Structure formats: structure tokens, C-alpha cells
Amino acid sequence: MRQVVLDTETTGLSWERGHRLVEIGCIELVERRPTGRRFQRYFNPGRELDIGAQEVTGLTLEFLADKPLFGHVVLEFLDFIRGAELIIHNAEFDVGFIDNELGLVGPDHGRVRDHASVLDTLGLARERFPGQRNSLDALCRRLGVDNAHRKLHGALLDAELLTEVYLAMTAGQGDLLLAPTATAPRLPAFDVGGEAVVARRPLLLAASVEELQAHAERMARIAKKSGGKLVWQEPADAGTGFAGLR
């Protein structure tokens, strides 16, 4: 499976109010592994950036003045994402801006979903961590992804962080040896009553959100009865779901 992790930076929060793209950053994955192929471009938005956008990105119209218009690289961008599954955090925001830019260039280029499917990692995070903060920074902290170098927002940098967050959130899905190109290792055979019996690979089962929530509530009740100590729990910084019980 080919996937493209994508992020954007913009002049403001609403394309409906005339805000524009200033950067796109993409990282290609094939069978959940980075290939080294990337797409990153700055754009001249033709308008000033909001103060808030300047503060979080460090970008200015002066820096962007000599960068290409989106329309000048649209074909290159569409070639990069075509046929892929796009991995985007809060996809509605990024896709809305890109669709707006495609519309401004002309109707011939269609919309993002005409070229690629879209997976929103914000939705995945809300399913896995209901009731918690699920911003990219919050997920980095929760999943142990180092983002200490992220002093400013940048599309390619954020795509790199999102790649690690996505792979951590979906860990195990790529290890079931279901990919058509994967070669499964030969399992050992044992002699049982004169018959050669091949060991079966253990079945991996993942708990549902409801089961995890029920487990957490039960642990909380046990912790309360035992004075707040559960000797089998790992330290809070180990990244387990039980940290919030202490």
C-alpha cells in the first residue's frame, strides 16, 4: 500500500475568508515504511499572513515573495499524491485549503479526493484516546515521539512527526504478515504421536475502545480500594494507558 503523509501551512485559519496555502509537505510510505521520497514547496500566497500564522510558522510575505504560485507546481503535486492514501491530521482543514487552491487554478484539476483517498488521524486518535487532547503535540507526548526540535510549525517537519505518530498509533497492523510482498518465516514443526505438527502462529487480538475504557474504570476502582497503589503498573512516563489513574 502506498501512503502519503501530508501537512500544510496557511496564511490564516479559513480559506472561505480568502486565506491561502503557503507550504505543503509530504512524505511517502510504502507498506508503512518511508521510501525517502518527499514533496515540499513554499508558495507565494499573494496576500499578507495573519499575525498568528507568522508567529507559529516564522514565515513572512517577504520570504514567500519569490516562491512559485500554487498553480505553477499543481501538476507535480498531483502526480506525487495520485493513487495514494493521504494521512492527514485534521484532514478537513488541509483538504479544504488544497481544494480551494485547485479551484482557483481551474476546474480541470478536480478535488483532492479525485486523486487520492484520505485518512484523518485526528479521527483515529479520538477513537483510541476518547476525551483526551489529540493535537499533534499532545499525541507526540503521549506516544513518545520526540518533538523537542519543533520550535515553529512547518509542513514538512509536521509531516515527519505525523508519520511517527501514525505508525505508533497503528503499531502492529503492519506486522501480521498479510502484505502480498511479505515472506512469512517458516514455523517450527513438532513430532506429536508420529505426526509432524506445525506450530500455529498466535492470534493477535486488539482490545476495543469500550473494553479499554471498562478496564481503566476497573483499575481505578481497585486503585481506590488499595490506597492508590497498584504494584503491577508501570511508571507514568512509560506511555501506558494507566498513567492517568495515579
Active site residues: 153
3-state helix, strand, coil in the chain (%, to 5): 40, 20, 40
Contact present, 223 and 126 (Cβ < 8 Å): no
Cα separation, 102 vs 94, whole angstroms: 12
Amino acid residing at 76: E
Q: List the beta strands (DSSP E) in 135-243.
A: 189-192, 195-198
Going by their DSSP bridges, the two strands 21-30 and 2-10 should be labelled as antiparallel
The full length of the chain comes to 246
Long-range Cβ contact pairs of 98-104 (< 8 A, separation 24 or more): 98/8, 98/21, 98/24, 100/15, 101/20, 101/21, 101/70, 101/71, 101/74, 102/74, 104/70, 104/71
Sheet (strand 2-10) strand order: 33-42, 21-30, 2-10, 85-88, 117-120
